[in-house]
Amino acid sequence: MFSKYLGRYNDVLLFLVLIPIINTINYHLTYATIRWDWYTYATYSIDTITGYIAWGLIKRTILWMDKAMPYEKALIKRLLLQLLITNLVAQGFIILATESINALFGDGPLPTGFYTYNLFIFFIWILVINGIYVGFYLYDQWLLAQSLREKDKKLRSKGFSVALGNSTRHISFDQIAVFYVEDRTTFLRTKIGEQFVLDDSLNKILPVLPAEVFFRLNRKYIVHREQIKGYRKEINGKLLVEFDSGTSMKTSIVSRTTAPEFKQWFTIAAPRF
């Protein structure tokens, strides 16, 4: 999923600004006194470029992990491995780059503080960068949930559409008692006894209905929750479902394989529309 939204929130622009800020903060945390001469400007520029490359490696790692281990499958495991791998990749590159530059232009080994204090600071910033991308993911999930909620709200307010000649009638879900098949024809029956012939099969009708309110009992019936008075077990594992008068039938059979799903659905209180 990261591949769908990385960059969607201007992460390039964000980190073009953020990396120099991070580098500036690092300098003030590392050095008590900063002399802004040519040497400082040169090292600051090198460190900033190194920061950009490290950020790029972190982003590439997150994109790779998104394909190998999506958040949805194992959230905690993914977060822990992401923090571990991004730190190894980014800090490994920082150490290699720093040692190489020091070997070429330095006049001695790196100070011990680089491997203690400085790397600890880098670790903190890598956590911050990971947190930003996790925030992107959570924000994307929130937008997706909002979109689905709006679609669901629109669906529920619209109800079910029935073609009547050249016109269309919208029947709210709380008015519908049952969809059923009889003599290879699909019907909709309302709670007040109105009946309509439908063009679509039950297979096509079921996906557009609120799942917590309607249940397909078998090949013949999709019933509104409020029309079911109760059920009882049969010897062969099937269920005998008893209906209210609005369905025009008294009972129907739920197969043994569908019975567990029906019982779980029936125990959940369904909201009214």
Q: What is the pLDDT of residues 106-126, one digit of tens each?
A: 777 777 777 888 889 899 999
pLDDT at residue 154 is higher than 80? no
Asked if residue 228 lies in contact with residue 217, where contact means CB atoms within 8 angstroms, the answer is: no
Share of residues in the chain with pLDDT > 90 (%): 32
More confident residue, 250 or 69: 69
Q: In what order do the strands lie in the sheet with 195-198?
A: 195-198, 185-190, 176-182, 221-224, 214-216
More confident residue, 271 or 196: 196
pLDDT at residue 163 is higher than 90? no
Asked which of 100, 131, 155 is the last residue of a domain, the reply is 155
pLDDT band at 88 (very low <50, low <70, confident <90, very high): very high
Share of residues in the chain with pLDDT > 70 (%): 90
Looking at the structure, tell me whether residues 11 and 142 fall in a common domain. yes
Looking at the structure, tell me whether residues 70 and 147 fall in a common domain. yes
pLDDT of residue 6: 56
Mean pLDDT within 30-55: 85
- When mean pLDDT is compared over 81-95, 109-123, 220-234, the highest value belongs to 81-95
pLDDT of residue 130: 94
User: What pTM did the predictor assign?
Assistant: 0.57
Looking at the structure, tell me whether residues 102 and 180 fall in a common domain. no
Least confident of 31-35, 187-191, 215-219, 259-263: 31-35
pLDDT at residue 85 is higher than 90? yes
Q: What are 70-76's contacts with CB under 8 Å, separation 24+?
A: 70/1, 71/1, 71/137, 72/1
Task: Determine the Cα–Cα distance for residues 96 and 75; give it in Å rounded to an integer.
Answer: 31
Looking at the structure, tell me whether residues 79 and 55 fall in a common domain. yes
Least confident of 39-43, 205-209, 218-222: 39-43
pLDDT at residue 4 is higher than 70? no
Looking at the structure, tell me whether residues 132 and 192 fall in a common domain. no
Looking at the structure, tell me whether residues 202 and 108 fall in a common domain. no
Mean pLDDT, the chain, whole residue set: 85
Give the domain extent around 67. Answer: 2-155
Number of domains in the chain: 2
Asked if residue 121 lies in contact with residue 30, where contact means CB atoms within 8 angstroms, the answer is: yes
Looking at the structure, tell me whether residues 227 and 197 fall in a common domain. yes
Give the residue among 229, 26, 186 at the shortest CA–CA distance from 120: 26
pLDDT of residue 10: 66
pLDDT of residue 58: 94
Mean pLDDT within 20-32: 84
pLDDT of residue 57: 95
Asked which of 155, 190, 222 is the last residue of a domain, the reply is 155
Mean pLDDT within 54-74: 90
Asked which of 117, 135, 155 is the last residue of a domain, the reply is 155
Q: Is residue 36 part of a domain?
A: yes
Least confident of 24-38, 49-63, 125-139, 204-218: 24-38
66 to each of 8, 73, 135, how far by Cα in Å?
16, 10, 15
Q: Is residue 272 part of a domain?
A: no
Mean pLDDT within 41-54: 91
